[in-house]
């Protein structure tokens, strides 16, 4: 096996030293840990295919890892799998200006893609705080959402083509970038969000959006979720340039301030806060100020249009994940409910969580317009399963999804049946069996290995 892997990627790209391999064996949050037999770092699709063919011959599982910023344990190897790192799949092809598309390697980070396409007057429709490490392969494999879904949709809406290696080592490649192409089943969409269980993504053809440099960000204090929803409705109706509406609460703000040293945004403390961002060809600041002035939901607000000021206001929101982790390893859940049930769900969550674990300290925040809540629970590691079960059942009872944007991974596999019917799960299993009959790709992620 080692000989074949060495032949596939070259001796220097097969890593077997235990201390080096160990750095690939745990996740960003510190919640998941596994074991890999080795790490391989292929340079292109052909090398990935050679690795997969060797693994298939030896019936050894392969775990795919991009930036390892995933939050559901999907990039952590188990059972002595080969860890395939996409760190060297970093080709950035020239932007095709006429179509507003680009083809990139799966290991390109989101920040590198942003720099590349912004130089040509384009932007990418998905953005979030892990941009410096998260890779495009990871974004597509998890169908990442982030902060601009309100305007541009999730990663799936940006994917126009994929090159990937299947479990038997064969290659599928469709990078032509046709926005309209209804020829049979949508295989690209199937691979999107498949969390490394159906194929290893090696190259991606992406749709770009116009680069909008005139931006205004508002940090707004509100009383509660109902007020936040009413404000977003008002702003959205008046300003089609709205692209982000992010929600957090007083306890999250306190954690962020303790971690970052940021000052209080307002003289008074409020129960809830929204970050709103508008972007266009003309400076949207006046329009945004007018919309805020016209809404009774606003208790206080501050607006910035210059890059430093905008970055500062975003920090109150984007520093949540890191600040929570610095206070302890949380039980981390990513869920969505219909907007009509959001206020009720937010009200019910703390009691539901403390009933499952009396010491628990829940921190909620999220992407308001999609009803996407990030439920982080500190001081609850010993009761992680009970807390997870209680939260996910509450979400399902409100017609929600147990997995909004981070995926199922290893973290939520056992609760899949709360959001998908037995018939749909049987269909997923049939697809997995058809494409990966030996269960070699990311076993135990999304579906159990059986």
What value, to the nearest 5°, has the Cα angle with vertex 434 and ends 430 and 440?
A: 105
Q: Considering CB distances under 5 to 8 angstroms, the limit depending on partner class, which of ligand 2HG, ligand FAD, none binds residue 443?
A: none
376 binds ligand 2HG (CB under 6 A): yes
Q: Are 360 and 353 in contact (CB under 8 A)?
A: yes
Asked whether the beta carbons of 127 and 60 are under 8 A apart, the reply is no
Q: Closest distance between ligand FAD and the C-beta of residue 146, in Å? A: 4
List 31, 332, 361, 410, residue binding ligand 2HG (CB under 6 A): 332
- By beta-carbon proximity to ligand FAD, the closer residue of 53 and 129 is 129
State the residue for tokens 């050894």. 60
Q: Is 55 in the site for ligand FAD (CB under 6 A)?
A: no
Task: Supply 303's token pair.
Answer: 């607006």
Are 111 and 139 in contact by the 8 Å Cβ rule? The answer is: no
> CA neighbours within 13 Å on the CB side: how many for 104?
31
Task: Tell which one of 40, 56, 200, 378 touches ligand FAD (CB under 6 A).
Answer: 200
| Contact partner at residue 332 from ligand 2HG, ligand FAD, none, CB < 5 to 8 Å by partner kind | ligand 2HG
Vertex 218 angle, CA 395 and 321, to 5°: 45
Report which residue's Cβ sits closest to ligand FAD. 138
Q: Give which of ligand 2HG, ligand FAD, none residue 376 binds (C-beta under 5 to 8 Å, depending on kind).
A: ligand 2HG
Q: Pattern 14-33, binding to ligand FAD, x per CB under 6 A?
A: --------------x-----
Annotate each residue in 112-151 with x if it binds ligand FAD (CB under 6 A) or - if it does not, as one string.
----------------xxx--xxx-xxx-xx-xxx-----
Binding residues for ligand 2HG restricted to 101-130, rule: CB under 6 A? 128-129
Identify the residue among 54, 106, 221, 274 touching ligand FAD (CB under 6 A). Answer: 106
**Residues contacting 94, CB < 8 A, separation 6+:** 102
Q: For residue 320, which of 363, 350, 360, 354 has the smallest C-alpha distance?
A: 363
Q: Is 374 in the site for ligand 2HG (CB under 6 A)?
A: yes
Q: Which of 326, 307, 412, 369 is nearest to 146 (CA)?
A: 369
What's the distance, Cα to Cα, between the start and end of the chain in Å?
25
Of 275, 277, 262, residue with least CA distance to 222:
275
Identify which of residues 334 and 436 has a Cβ nearer to ligand 2HG in the complex.
334
305/216 Cα distance (integer angstroms): 4
Asked whether 72 and 226 are in contact (CB, 8 A), the reply is: no
- Taking CB under 6 A as the criterion, the residue among 197, 321, 369, 388 binding ligand 2HG is 321
Q: Which residue has the tokens 């249009």?
A: 305
Tell me the window of 37-45, 67-75, 300-308, 422-430 that interacts with ligand FAD (CB under 6 A): 67-75
**86 binds ligand 2HG per the rule CB under 6 A:** no
Quick one: which of 51, 64, 208, 239 contacts ligand FAD (CB under 6 A)? 64
Residues 406 and 431: their CA atoms lie apart, in Å, by 21
Residues with Cβ < 8 Å from 17, sequence gap 6 or more? none
According to CB under 6 A, which one of 66, 169, 284, 330 is a site residue for ligand FAD? 66
Nearer to ligand 2HG, 89 or 363 (CB): 363
- Distance in angstroms (rounded) separating the CA atoms of residues 352 and 355: 5
Binding site for ligand 2HG (CB under 6 A): 128-129, 320-321, 332, 334, 374, 376
Per CB under 6 A, residues contacting ligand FAD are 28, 64-71, 74-75, 86, 106, 128-130, 133-135, 137-139, 141-142, 144-146, 195-196, 200-201, 321, 405-406, 442, 445
């Amino acid at each position: 096996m080692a000989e074949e892997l060495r032949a596939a990627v070259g001796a220097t790209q097969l890593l077997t030293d235990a201390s080096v391999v160990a750095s690939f064996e745990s996740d960003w949050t510190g919640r998941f840990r596994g074991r890999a037999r080795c790490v391989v770092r292929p340079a292109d699709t052909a090398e990935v295919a050679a690795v997969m063919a060797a693994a298939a011959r030896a019936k050894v599982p392969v775990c795919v890892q991009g930036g390892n910023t995933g939050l559901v344990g999907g990039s952590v190897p188990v059972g002595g799998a080969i860890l395939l790192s996409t760190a060297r799949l970093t080709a950035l092809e020239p932007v095709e200006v006429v179509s507003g598309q680009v083809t990139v390697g799966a290991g390109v980070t989101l920040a590198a893609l942003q720099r590349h396409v912004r130089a040509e007057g384009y932007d990418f429709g998905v953005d979030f705080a892990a941009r410096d490490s998260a890779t495009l392969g990871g974004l597509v494999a998890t169908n990442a959402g982030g902060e601009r879904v309100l305007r541009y949709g999730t990663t799936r809406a940006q994917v126009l083509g994929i090159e990937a290696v299947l479990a038997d080592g064969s290659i599928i490649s469709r990078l032509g970038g046709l926005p309209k192409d209804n020829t049979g089943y949508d295989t690209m969409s199937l691979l999107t969000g498949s969390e490394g269980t159906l194929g290893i993504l090696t190259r991606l053809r992406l749709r770009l959006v116009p680069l909008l440099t005139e931006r205004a960000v508002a940090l707004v204090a509100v009383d509660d979720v109902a007020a936040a929803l009413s404000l977003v409705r008002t702003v959205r109706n008046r300003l089609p340039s709205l692209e982000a509406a992010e929600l957090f609460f007083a306890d999250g703000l306190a954690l962020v301030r303790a971690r970052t040293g940021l000052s209080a945004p307002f003289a008074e403390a409020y129960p809830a806060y929204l970050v709103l961002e508008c972007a266009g060809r003309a400076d949207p600041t006046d329009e945004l100020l007018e919309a805020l002035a016209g809404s009774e939901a606003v208790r206080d607000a501050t607006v910035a249009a210059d890059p430093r000021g905008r970055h500062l206001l975003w920090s109150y929101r984007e520093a949540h994940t890191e600040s929570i982790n610095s206070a302890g390893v949380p039980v981390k859940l990513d869920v969505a409910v219909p907007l009509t049930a959001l206020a009720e769900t937010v009200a019910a969550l703390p009691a539901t969580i403390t009933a499952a674990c009396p010491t628990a300290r829940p921190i909620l925040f999220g992407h308001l317009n999609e009803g996407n809540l990030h439920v982080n629970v500190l001081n609850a590691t010993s009761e992680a399963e009970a807390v997870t079960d209680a939260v996910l059942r509450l979400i399902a009872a409100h017609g929600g999804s147990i997995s909004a944007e981070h995926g199922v991974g290893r973290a939520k596999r056992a609760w899949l049946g709360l959001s998908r019917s037995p018939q749909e799960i049987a269909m997923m299993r049939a697809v997995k069996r058809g494409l990966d009959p030996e269960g070699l790709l990311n076993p135990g992620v999304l579906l159990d290995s059986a």
